[in-house]
A = this chain, B = another copy of it.
Amino acid sequence: MTDFNHIETKYITFDKPLPLESGAVLPEITLAYETYGELNEDKSNAILVFHALTGDAHAAGRHTPEDRKPGWWDPMIGPGKAFDTDKYFVICANTIGGCMGSTGPVSINPKTGKRYGSDFPIVTIGDMVAAQKMLIDHMGIGKLFCVVGGSMGGMMTLQWAKSYPERTGLVIPIATTAHMSAQGIAFDAVGRTAVMSDPNWNNGDYYDGEGPENGLAVARMIAHITYMSKESMRQKFGRRLQNSSSLRYDHENDFRVENYLEYQGGIFVKRFDANSYICVTKALDYFDLAQPSGDLRKELAPTKDSPFLIISISSDWLCPTEMSKEIASALRRTHLYISYAEMDSDYGHDAFLVETDSLTNLIGNFLSMFEKK
């Protein structure tokens, strides 16, 4: 039985090269991952959870009972929860290109003995799921009972289904899209420009000195705005002032929302690597499930035996409901079972991390329909 007060992050290294969509090859890869629950005898109860842009493998529980915070989707994963670990074996791995234990720009390049830095190749969502497939193969799991994730994790969910349809049971993409919008690319591009115009960027080879923290903080601040709805910002901050009872009339922050964003930028640069940020946002921007044919319906046709539950968030303006409807519509003629739900929430894009009660209802019902009795 999983002890949720002593969750261990495990690391596995595959010495096999991973060929990437760009044509580059990663000579070896390490994946950081966690598991919750027990894999059953016929290995038919595994659920692979994909994290979002800057997330990690620590999806549920605490490393030690003293941890202040549990994993990022803790209300969703555990005994009796939506992803019920009394029934299911839940896996979450850190994506390659990131910086939370899996191979990425901060890793040592075995060819040079130094950190990859700027030499780390740009990876795609397809490459990310290919890396995780090595883990699933290693575990001897033929077909996943379910793949699920929100935002970039939703892209990985869709990509897994497309890349490995015969290895895929249920598919639950949340708050995501079949292709990054021009506006989404634009926000990512400005974030990257902020990082790369920081004098400490040094073309990505900054590990011997200070990193481009100012630029990365700005990138995070921009992104953070896109994760909240206009309404949630109004409710949370409105025009409330930070410290004083009146306006300051200087260059300092006046409003609470300014301090909040500055704080978010500040904590982010302590936990995330700038090269990884460039890498994962490029992966987002490159994502286009309709390629190579340009026909989303055709590209998704091989997934026809998988039941889909597609969930959008009413106030999400980064991946608005239309984008989920586009996916549902592409499946309509070919697929046996498609369910689509718009979750009513003011939280915006990040609601998939917050509205866990609603998600538990939606996902719990869906899983129970397909559960083996």
Interface size of A by Cβ–Cβ distance < 8 Å? 60
Of A40-48, A85-93, A187-195, the stretch lying at the interface with chain B is A187-195
Instruction: Decide if A257 is an interface residue (CB 8 Å cutoff).
Output: yes
Instruction: Decide if A310 is an interface residue (CB 8 Å cutoff).
Output: no
Integer count of this chain's copies in the complex = 2
Instruction: Decide if A268 is an interface residue (CB 8 Å cutoff).
Output: no
- For A203-224 the 0/1 string (1 means CB < 8 A from B) is 1100000000011011001100
**Does A257 lie within 8 Å of B225, measured CB to CB?**
no
**Does A186 lie within 8 Å of B122, measured CB to CB?**
no
Kindly list chain B residues whose C-beta atoms are within 8 Å of the C-beta of A249. Answer: 21-24, 121-122
CB distance from A189 to the nearest CB of B (A): 4
Kindly list chain B residues whose C-beta atoms are within 8 Å of the C-beta of A234. Answer: 181-183
CB-CB nearest in chain B for A258: B189
**Does B285 lie within 8 Å of A186, measured CB to CB?**
no
**Does B197 lie within 8 Å of A199, measured CB to CB?**
no
**Does A261 lie within 8 Å of B189, measured CB to CB?**
yes
Instruction: Decide if A238 is an interface residue (CB 8 Å cutoff).
Output: yes
**Chain A interface main SS type:** helix
**Does A185 lie within 8 Å of B278, measured CB to CB?**
no
Instruction: Decide if A196 is an interface residue (CB 8 Å cutoff).
Output: yes
Complex CA gap A203/B250 in Å reads 11
**Does B221 lie within 8 Å of A185, measured CB to CB?**
no
CB-CB nearest in chain B for A275: B251
The 9 closest A-B pairs by CB, nearest first: A22-B249, A197-B214, A182-B233, A189-B258, A122-B249, A182-B237, A190-B221, A183-B230, A183-B233
Measuring CB to CB, which residues of chain A are less than 8 angstroms from any residue of chain B?
A: 21-24, 118, 121-122, 179-183, 185-187, 189-190, 192-194, 196-199, 203-204, 214-215, 217-218, 221-222, 225, 228, 230, 233-234, 236-239, 247, 249-251, 253-255, 257-258, 261-262, 265, 278, 282, 285-286, 288, 317, 320
Known pairs A22-B249, A189-B221, A190-B218 / 17 extra A-B pairs, C-beta < 8 Å: A21-B249, A23-B249, A24-B249, A179-B239, A182-B257, A185-B257, A185-B258, A186-B257, A189-B258, A192-B251, A193-B218, A193-B265, A197-B214, A197-B217, A218-B218, A251-B278, A254-B282
